[in-house]
Amino acid sequence: MDVFEAIDTTRAVRRFSAAPVTDDEILTCIRAAAQGPSGGNIQPWQFLAVTEPAVKRALGDLYRRAYDRYEPALLAARPPFRSDEERASFERMAAASRHLADHLGEAPALVLFLMPNISMTLQDAQGPLDVGTPFASIYPAVQNFMLAARALGIGTTLTTVYRIYQDEVRAACAIPERYEVIALIPMGRPLKEFRRGRRRPVESVTHWNRFGSKRT
């Protein structure tokens, strides 16, 4: 598959068929993830693949509980829609997200991305050196994982809502407390064909040299 086709069609998939995802397919995606860049090549990741039904159900229950709190807070904070098209797009996304919340535990596989809870903040004589979140050293691995899954015909989506109950997620999977659960990725064959996601034209969000300077 052409890399740009993979990028263009790796969108959030939240509805899956019952077709299985094999251990070999999971490992193929994890190998791709482990090729992702990380700060100082520290490779801070651990991967936890969940295929056992009882553990998937436990994670699904926690995710549903978290989403039951998250959804009304999100809707209350949502600004007014600018068009009927924007409203329809949001409602489709919201329905798919609700479906995932109700069925996460039924996905053929779940993969958790873990990272030690470490501080990467350095200091010099002038004070702390803010170089950004340490999660930046694991998100490229997440994207590699999702692209590899797309190449295998497997749908994925990046989820973090479970972090509302992260301690309980750790307990369900016997994850030591020193690890942050950075992402949870459900995997499964999509019910619909892969297609490009709707995105704003890049020209509208691209600036050249100084903010506000656009090229036409």
E-state strands within 15-131: 46-50, 109-116, 122-124, 127-129
Please tell me the CATH superfamily of domain 3-119+134-205, with its number: NADH Oxidase (3.40.109.10)
Helix (H) or strand (E) holding 14: none
All residues at 6 or more sequence positions from 19 whose CB lies less than 8 Å from its CB, including other chains: 108, 188, 189
E-state strands within 139-214: 155-156, 179-188
DSSP 213: -
Give the Cα separation of 8 and 187 in Å (integer): 18
Give the Cα separation of 196 and 65 in Å (integer): 31
Residue keyed to tokens 């020209």: 203
Q: Which residues pair with 180 in a beta bridge?
A: 115
15-42 residue pLDDT tens: 999 999 999 999 999 999 999 999 889 9
Please say if the pLDDT value at position 86 is more than 90.
Answer: no
112-146 residue pLDDT tens: 999 999 877 889 999 998 888 889 999 999 999 99
Q: What is the pLDDT of residue 119?
A: 77
Higher pLDDT, 32 or 88: 32
Q: What is the pLDDT of residue 118?
A: 80
How confident is the model over 196-206, as a mean pLDDT?
89
Q: What is the pLDDT of residue 89?
A: 87
How confident is the model over 71-82, as a mean pLDDT?
91
153-191 residue pLDDT tens: 999 999 999 999 999 999 999 999 999 999 999 999 999
Residue 191 near residue 74, CB atoms below 8 Å: no
All residues at 6 or more sequence positions from 175 whose CB lies less than 8 Å from its CB, including other chains: 48, 112, 114, 169, 181
Prediction pTM value: 0.92
